[in-house]
């Protein structure tokens, strides 16, 4: 039997050379890949449509719609969408330091200043979502990723949805240790308070390394969540305890709002403000007082590669998420 030739040409998806698999979900595989022209690393979520029923397919298209709407330094960026009759490819930024969850299990728990920096980044991402009428509904340490500078990248809007204040949602979402009492009770809820409860769980997990509510089975967990009682370790600061207690309130109407959390004493330190980073693409380059719509330097670079300026501008203006759109934004963010 002739030995198979070692694969000479790497597996390619569009202009991307696949490097390795970094994650497997129930209907998606995520691959680390590198753009052949810009050499930038990306994470490509590959979804086989044939494995999905109608409702899950709808969730994927809703996730894409949400990712196209949101542009924030602590929310996972979408660069390109490719679709064939069988498969959808979502080209996203690659968070090279992985899950916060793994980070915490390695460190056991975070000192409060470190937890504050991360929590503030998650908070600014969620505040931005709510301002765009989007609720995440699946906030958990596993969905908080870290880039190469340990900055938060909020991922996985699979349970995300649009909300109108006053209009209620009631789908069961998220994972049990992070789920709010009103979700366990199957009550109608308004989106934002649901994310605030999960933020309270996330803050507790960052500082303690364990869950406030746990249980060997769902019934015990539900009982404890509805009772709203949890232990505070002796070494937690009074301010941190106070903030957590005012987020993990059983009655959603009595829970702190995002704005009140931002103003809470525990959140007020100078270091926190300095920490919220602005990525390059967010700071427009001042040129003679007017703010150019697009980055002139990158447009020139692309022209140098033989990519027509008018074609690029058309793709950017239409937010087409095609190859030209991806090359521009990959170069801007590099
Ligand atoms: C496209 C996107 C957003 C995505 O879907 N995933 C998957 C894949 C693994 C995984 C997870 O373990 C937790 C959440 C999301 C995911 C991504 N993972 C990363 N980095 C990473 C790096 C080392 C370990 C885990 C994640 N960057 C971007 C993404």
pLDDT classification of 326: cutoffs 50, 70, 90:
very high
What is the interface pTM, i.e. ipTM, of the complex? 0.99
CA 95 – ligand 1 centroid, Å:
7
Q: Which residues pair with residue 264 across a beta bridge?
A: none
Protein residue with least CA distance to atom 10, ligand 1: 23
**Per the residue annotation, which of 53, 102, 138, 239 is the catalytic one?**
138
CA gap 158, 173 in Å, rounded: 10
Q: Tell me the backbone φ, ψ of residue 93, rounded to 5 degrees.
A: -70, 155
**Ligand 1 pocket mutation pick from 30, 40, 60, 103 by most atoms within 8 angstroms of CB:** 30
Q: Quick: pLDDT tens for 236-281.
A: 999 999 999 999 999 999 999 999 999 999 999 755 454 454 444 4
Give per-residue pLDDT as tens, 91-127: 999 999 999 999 998 988 999 999 999 999 999 999 9
Question: Percent of the chain, pLDDT > 90?
Answer: 72
Q: Residue 286: pLDDT above 70?
A: no
Residue whose CA lies nearest to ligand 1 atom number 7: 23
Task: Specify the pLDDT at position 160.
Answer: 72
Spacing, Cα 176 to ligand 1 middle (Å): 21
Give residue 8 CA to ligand 1 midpoint distance, Å: 27
CA of 30 to the centre of ligand 1 (A): 7
The residue contributing the CA closest to ligand 1 atom 20 is 95
* β-strands 28-35, 161-162 pairing: unpaired
- Which bin fits 297, alpha (ψ -120 to 50), beta or left (φ > 0)? alpha
- Whether the Cβ atoms of residue 134 and residue 69 lie closer than 8 Å to each other: yes
Probe ligand 1: pick from 43, 150, 175, max atoms within 8 Å of CB? 43
**Separation of CA 314 from chain center:** 28
Q: Can you give the pLDDT at residue 76?
A: 95
CA–CA dist 330, 239 (Å, integer) = 41
Mean pLDDT of the residues in the chain: 89
Checking if the pLDDT of 232 tops 90, the result is yes
Among 165, 131, 172, 138, CA closest to 154: 138
Q: What are the tens digits of pLDDT across the range 149-190?
A: 999 999 987 777 777 776 677 777 778 899 999 999 888 888
Quick check: is 17 catalytic? no
Q: Cα separation of 57 and 244, whole Å? A: 36
Residue nearest to atom 6 of ligand 1 (CA): 30
Contacts of 137 (CB under 8 A, 6+ apart): 159, 160, 161, 171, 173, 174, 191, 194, 195
Q: Which residue has the higher pLDDT, 293 or 19?
A: 19
Q: How far is the centre of ligand 1, averaged over its atoms, from the C-alpha of 233 (Å)? A: 31
Cβ 180 vs Cβ 251: under 8 Å: no
* Residue 228 pLDDT: 94
33 close to 18: Cβ distance less than 8 angstroms: yes
Residue 285 has pLDDT above 50, yes or no: no
Global confidence as pTM: 0.88
Question: Measuring from each residue's beta carbon to the nearest atom of ligand 1, which residues come in under 6 Å?
Answer: 22-23, 30, 43, 45, 76, 92, 94-95, 98-99, 142-143, 145, 155-156
């Amino acid at each position: 039997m002739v030995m198979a030739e070692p694969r000479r040409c790497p597996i390619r998806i569009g202009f991307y050379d696949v490097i390795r698999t970094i994650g497997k979900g129930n209907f998606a595989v995520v691959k680390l890949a590198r753009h052949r022209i810009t050499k930038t690393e990306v994470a490509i979520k590959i979804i086989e449509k044939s494995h999905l029923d109608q409702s899950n397919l709808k969730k994927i298209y809703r996730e894409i719609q949400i990712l196209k709407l949101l542009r924030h330094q602590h929310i996972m960026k979408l660069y390109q969408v490719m679709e064939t009759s069988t498969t959808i490819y979502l080209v996203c930024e690659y968070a090279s330091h992985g899950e916060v969850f793994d980070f915490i299990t390695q460190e056991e728990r975070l000192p409060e200043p470190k937890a504050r920096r991360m929590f503030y980044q998650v908070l600014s991402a969620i505040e931005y979502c709510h301002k765009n009428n989007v609720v995440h509904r699946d906030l958990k340490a596993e969905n908080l990723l870290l880039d190469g500078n340990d900055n938060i990248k909020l991922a996985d809007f699979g349970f995300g949805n649009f909300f109108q204040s006053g209009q209620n949602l009631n789908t069961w979402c998220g994972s049990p240790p992070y789920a709010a009492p009103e979700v366990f009770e199957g009550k109608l809820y308004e989106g934002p308070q649901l994310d605030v409860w999960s933020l309270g769980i996330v803050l507790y997990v960052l500082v303690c390394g364990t869950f406030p509510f746990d249980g060997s089975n769902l019934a015990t967990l539900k009982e404890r969540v509805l009772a709203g009682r949890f232990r505070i370790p002796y070494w937690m600061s009074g301010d941190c305890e106070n903030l957590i207690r005012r987020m993990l309130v059983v009655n959603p109407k009595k829970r702190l709002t995002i704005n009140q959390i931002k103003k809470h004493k525990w959140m007020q330190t100078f270091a926190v403000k300095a920490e919220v980073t602005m990525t390059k693409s967010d700071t427009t380059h001042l040129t003679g007082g007017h703010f150019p719509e697009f980055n002139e330097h990158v447009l020139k670079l692309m022209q140098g590669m033989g990519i027509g300026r008018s074609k690029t501008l058309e793709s950017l203006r239409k937010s087409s998420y095609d190859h030209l759109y991806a090359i521009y934004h990959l170069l801007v963010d590099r």
